Amino acid sequence: MKFHEVKLPSVAQHSLRYVLPAAAAATVACVLVLAAVGMPGRVPPLRLLMPPEATNTTGCDIFKGEWVPDPAAGELPYTSESCPVIHGHYDCMRYGRPDVGYVGWRWRPDGGCELQRLDAAWFLAAMRGRSVAFVGDSLARNQMQSLVCLLSRAERPAPWTNGSYVYRFERHGFTVAAFWSPFLVRAVETDPDGPTGNGAGLWSLHLDEPDADWAAHVGTFDYVVVSGGSWFYRPSMFYDRGGRLVGCNNCQVPNVTDLTLRYSLRMAFRSALRAAAAAAPDRRATRTVILRTISPSHYENGTWNEHGDCLRTRPARRGEWEINALEKDMRRIQVEELAAAAAAEAKRGEAAARMLLMDATEAMAQRPDAHPSKYRLWQPDKFKVSRDCVHWCMPGAMDACNDMLSHMLIE
C-alpha cells in the first residue's frame, strides 16, 4: 500500500508527520491540522520549560525508525523494587528472565532525529493539574503502568502499590488512570467455551454502544489514549444499537454472515473515538484523544495455544519481522477511523477535540525480544496462555510509547 506523509504541528508548534493511507491523505491533511492547532487551552501553561538536552525534532516522523543500542542502558529506569506498581504479568526480571538485554535499546526515528526520553520532572511540571486515561485491554494497562513507573522517578504517586487503576501525583495535581475495556464497546460473554472450545468464549458485541465503564468517566480527563486489538480475535456476534444481529466473527452459526474481526474493530473504534471526543461537551475543546495503533504479537514455531514462544534476545532489524496481512488491515482500519473522527471533529471549529495518532506498530513490530514469554506471574485461572508474546516486559519497549506520548503532548 502506498502511503503519504502528512505534516502536523504538535502542541508547541513542532511538526510531526503522521502516516496515512494514500486514499485518505488528500482529505485528511487539512482537517487534522485544523483539529490539532488554533484551539484555546491546548498548550500546557509551562510550554516554555524545556527538557534537559532537548533535541529539535522538527520535521521528523517519530514513528518510523529503528532500535539502536542505548548508551544509558547501564542504569535501569525502574524495577519492581523501585516501582511496585508493576503487575506480575509484565515483571520479567522478578520472574526469572536471565537476560536484561531487552532494556538496552532506544527508539531512533529516521532522518538523524532523536526521540527524547521522557523526563519525569519536566513532564509532571508541564502536565500540572491535568489527567490522562488509558482505555483498552491489558496492553493499555501495560502502557499506563509504564508511565506511572517512569514518572515515579520524580514523585511517588498514591497509592504506591500494584492493583490500582488510578494513580495520583499529588504535588503536581496529575492523575493517571486505566479503564479495562478490551472491546471498547458493550460486550457480554454468552458462552465461556465458545465455538472453538479453546476458552476464547463467544461474545455479544454491541458495536454502536461505547462501554459505559469508561465512557461515563472519561469526560473528566484531559487526555484519553485509546487502544485495542487482540480481543477482537475472539468469536463474537455483532449487534447494532437496535439489537439487530448484523454478523459475526468466527461464530460458526448457520445463516449468520462472518464479517470477520475487521468489521467489529472498525465499528468499535468508530464508536469509541467519537465517544471519547464528545464526553463532557463543556470540556470538549480542551480534550486530546490519542489512538495508539496495534502492537503485534511475536509467536514463533507455533501459535499462542500451540507451543508458540518468543525467545529472541535482540530487536529485529527493519524489515526482518513482517506483520501479517490481518495485522496490517487492523492497523489500517485504526488509522482510517482516527482520520474520520478527526475530520468530524474539525467541523466543530474551536469546539473540537484534538485527535492524534500514535502509530507505534512499526516500532513494536521490531521487538520480538521484549515479551515476557514464561517469565511472568502464572495465573492459569485468569490467563491461560503459558507463553506470553503479546504483553511487554517492564521496563522495556513499552516505555518508548510513553516517550512518544510525551513528545506528542508537550514537546
Per residue, what are the HEC states of 104-130?
Answer: CEEEEECCCCCCCCCCHHHHHHHCCCC
Asked whether the beta carbons of 124 and 172 are under 8 A apart, the reply is yes
Q: Among this protein's residues, is 391 annotated catalytic?
A: yes
CA angle 142, 159, 128 (to 5 degrees): 80
The beta strand positions in 22-88, using DSSP E, are 65-69
Q: Which of 89, 206, 298, 391 is catalytic?
A: 391
407 is catalytic: no
Q: 411 is written with which cell numbers?
A: 514537546
Which runs of consecutive H residues, i.e. helices, occur in 300-397? 325-346, 361-365
Annotation marks residue 388 as catalytic: yes
Helix axes 398-410, 138-151, angle to 10 degrees: 70
Q: Which helix (H) or strand (E) holds 400?
A: helix 398-410
Q: Per the residue annotation, which of 61, 137, 388, 399 is the catalytic one?
A: 388
- Grid cell digits, residue 52: 534537559
Out of 10, 131, 138, 181, pick the active-site residue: 138
Radius of gyration of the chain from its Cα atoms, rounded to whole angstroms: 20
Long-range contacts, stretch 170-175, CB < 8 angstroms, 24+ apart? 171/124, 172/124, 172/125, 172/127, 172/128, 172/129, 173/128, 173/129, 173/130, 174/124, 174/127, 174/128, 174/129, 174/130, 174/131, 175/130, 175/131, 175/132, 175/221
Residue 168: C-alpha distances to residues 234, 271, 277 (Å): 34, 29, 23
Phi/psi at 326 (nearest 5 deg)?
-70, -40
Residue pair 118/406 in contact by the 8 Å Cβ criterion: yes
**Dist. CA 104–CA 117, nearest whole Å:** 13
Helix or strand holding residue 32 (H, E):
helix 22-36
Active-site positions read: 138, 388, 391
